[in-house]
A = this chain, B = another copy of it.
C-alpha cells in the first residue's frame, strides 16, 4: 500500500469509512477512545436511536451494508403530533411510500464495526485516547485508558472522525488560518423511556415519530425494536419552563401532568429516568479547512456537528464518506482529493447545520401552527403537480440527494413563495389549474 492510513474514532462515521477504505483494498488502523461496545455491558441509554433516511442508505449500499442495517429499522411514516388534551394529528413525511426509520445507534455502530473487521483490512484498537498530534509529520500518540501505555505511529493519511470534541481538530485549531466556531443553543435535552407494554408491544403507534410540540420546548419519541420508545425532552435550561427550574420529583411530575399527560401515563419510570439520565447541552460546530496538507481530513461531527432536529447529523457524515470516496475515484492524487472534498463539502456542512437549527422551531412550535400547516400542505400539492421542479424542503433533505446547501437556499426561496401564494388565498384544496397558473411564473417552466 502506498498509503498508511489511520482513522481516529470508531463511531458511526469512522466505522463506515473503515468499510470504504477496506473496499479500496487499503489497510487501516482505527483507534477509539471508548471501550469496544460489543464487549462491554451496555449502559443505560443503550436504546438511543436515530432516524435513518435515503442519504444514509445510499452511503451504506456502496459497501454492501444496507441489508444488514435494514434489519434494525422501524419505519416512521410521518410525525404524530400530540396536543395537551391528548388529541393527535398525523402529518406524513412525504408521498405514499416515503418514510424514515428508527434505528438503534449502538446496534448500527456494532454492525458496521464487525463488517469492517470481517474484511481483514481493518485493525481496531479500543480504549485508546489520542493524546498527541504532530500535524507536520502525521505522527499520533494514543494513550490506553486502562493501562496508560502510549503508542506512537506515523501515517500518510489520517482521518479525524473523532466527533464533536475532536482531538485532531483541536490540534488543527492552533494553526494559522483555521476558522472555528462552537455554538450552544439555549436548549438542552434529557432522554427518558416509555417501556414496552406486555408482550413487547409498543404503548403508542410505532409507525410514526411522536412529537408533543409546546412552543418553547417539546417531547419526542422514537420506537425501538424491543417495544420501548426512547423519549427526548428538548427544553431551554433557563426560564420558568426550563431544566434549571425542574428540581424536585414533585416539580417534574407536575410538569409532565400539565404538558404531556397522554405520554406520562406510559412512562412509569419517569422519575427514576429523570434522576439517572444526564441533562446534556446541544452544540453545533463549524470549521474550515477540513483538510490539512493532504495528510489530515476531518470527517463527520469533527467537521460539522449539528443539532439533532433534522435527523441528519450522522447521515451528513455518511454522505460525506460516500462523496469523499467518489473524489478518491476521480482524483488519483489523494492530496487533491482531500482539498477538493474539503472545499466542495464545506457549504453543505453549513447548510445542514442551519437546516437543523431551523427545524427545532418547526418541530416544537410551527407544526402546531395553522399558517405553517397550510403552507406545508400546499407545498406537497405543488410537488404532486410539478414533480422534481418543486420538492418540499423536507423531501429534498430527507428523500433526495440534492446538496444540503442547495436545499437550504431553495427552502428559503420556497418559503417566500408559499407565503405569497397563501396570501392570495391559494390552498391544497384549490384546483390543479389554479395552482398551476399561480406557481408557473415562479418556476419559469413552460407547460
Contacts and interface: CB of A to CB of B under 8 A. Distances in A.
A201 to B, nearest CB: 38
Interface string A305-320: 0000000000000000
B173 A182 contact: yes
A178 interface: yes
A180 interface: yes
A6 B91 CA distance: 58
Contacts of A177: 184, 237, 281
Contact of A183 (B165, B179, B183, B237): B179
Contacts of A179: 182-184
A181 interface: yes
B182 A180 contact: yes
Contacts of A178: 182, 184
A281 B182 CA distance: 21
A176 B182 contact: no
A182 B174 CA distance: 10
A336 B297 CA distance: 44
Contacts of A180: 180-182
Interface string A358-382: 0000000000000000000000000
* Residue among A176, A177, A178, A179 with max Cβ neighbours from chain B (10 Å): A177
A364 to B, nearest CB: 19
Contacts of A281: 176-177
B181 A181 contact: yes
Interface in A133-191: 165, 173-174, 176-184
Contacts of A183: 179, 181
A179 to B, nearest CB: 5
Interface in A179-210: 179-184
A237 B176 CA distance: 12
Contacts of A237: 177
A77 to B, nearest CB: 36
A279 to B, nearest CB: 10
Interface string A243-255: 0000000000000
Nearest to A181: B181
Interface string A217-237: 000000000000000000001
A24 B180 CA distance: 38
A245 to B, nearest CB: 17
A96 to B, nearest CB: 43
A180 B177 CA distance: 15
A182 B180 CA distance: 5
Interface in A73-114: none
Interface string A240-284: 000000000000000000000000000000000000000001000
A173 B176 CA distance: 18
Nearest to A180: B182
Contacts of A181: 180-183
Kindly list the 4 A-B residue pairs having the minimum CB-CB distance in the complex, ordered from nearest.
A181-B181, A177-B184, A176-B281, A179-B183
Interface of A: 165, 173-174, 176-184, 237, 281
11 contacts: A165-B174, A173-B182, A177-B184, A177-B237, A177-B281, A178-B182, A178-B184, A179-B183, A179-B184, A180-B182, A181-B181
Given A179-B182, A181-B181, 7 more contacts: A176-B184, A177-B184, A177-B281, A178-B182, A179-B184, A181-B182, A181-B183
